[in-house]
Amino acid sequence: MPAIKWHDVITVAATIFFILDPLGNIPTFHAILANFPTRAKIRIILRELFFALVILLVFLVAGVKILRFLGLGQPTLNIAGGILLFVIAVRMVFPQNGSQDDTAVEDPYLVPLAMPLIAGPSTIAVLLLLSSSQPERLFEWIISLLIAWSAATLILTATPVILGRLGDSPLKAITRLMGMLLILISVQMFLNGITQYLTEVLKFRA
């Protein structure tokens, strides 16, 4: 087994960490879990992050084969992820009156915290690129993913206690601001998917 190139491992881990964007996801996580007590929030966050890790590991190890088997491509991931994020973002900016009682018992199982907020199209795309371009270094990329995931987990599990002390008004403002940003991100993700799809069609016809 060749020696691990730790410089590359750390560099890739930093890249994955920034794409996971745990700091940017803090208000979104808190908004979705606002009606849960602190202990339940931490438990749900840990569960969803574990699901996200499993999803990312699957795509890193066998993602290329899975997508080829299903006939799916990166444009599909971007378009679907953009639509889902858009729906979530609109609900953050324009919360429905009287919906708090319904959301209080709603457990965000797998969607949207694990996917697409953590295991999103961008992260999956990077992992697919790593596994397809340098498959002989798969073990190193797994280490990079674990490092990035561990750092994101530490940040996201510590925030319920910190944000809980800010009060409702600042958090509502942050939630709506993040909703606006998510709308922009979701539209850009959707447009990227359309652009990639049209590019592939034009190449195929050429």
Tens of pLDDT, residues 167-192: 556 666 766 776 787 788 778 878 98
**Residue 126 reports pLDDT greater than 80:** yes
Give 52's DSSP letter.
H
Which pLDDT value is given to residue 133?
A: 77
Which pLDDT value is given to residue 105?
A: 47
Which pLDDT value is given to residue 104?
A: 43
User: What is the mean pLDDT of the segment spanning 37-64?
Assistant: 92
**Residue 27 reports pLDDT greater than 70:** yes
Q: Lowest mean pLDDT: which of 57-61, 68-72, 192-196? A: 68-72
- Each residue's pLDDT tens digit, 142-159: 999 999 999 999 989 988
User: What is the mean pLDDT of the segment spanning 62-91?
Assistant: 77
Rounded CA gap, 150 and 156, in Å?
10
Which pLDDT value is given to residue 102?
A: 42
Which pLDDT value is given to residue 90?
A: 83
Q: What is the mean pLDDT of the chain?
A: 81
User: What is the mean pLDDT of the segment spanning 74-78?
Assistant: 74
Q: Lowest mean pLDDT: which of 3-7, 98-102, 109-113? A: 98-102
Which pLDDT value is given to residue 103?
A: 40
Which pLDDT value is given to residue 12?
A: 92
Buried/exposed code over 124-162 (b: 16+ C-beta within 10 A; e: otherwise): bbbbbebbeeeeebeebbbbbbbbbbebbbeebbebbee
**Nearest Cα residue to 108 out of 170, 52, 56:** 52
Per-residue pLDDT band for 131 (boundaries 50, 70, 90) equals confident
Q: Is the pTM of this model over 0.85?
A: no
19: number of Cβ within 10 Å: 16
Which pLDDT value is given to residue 166?
A: 62
Which pLDDT value is given to residue 141?
A: 94
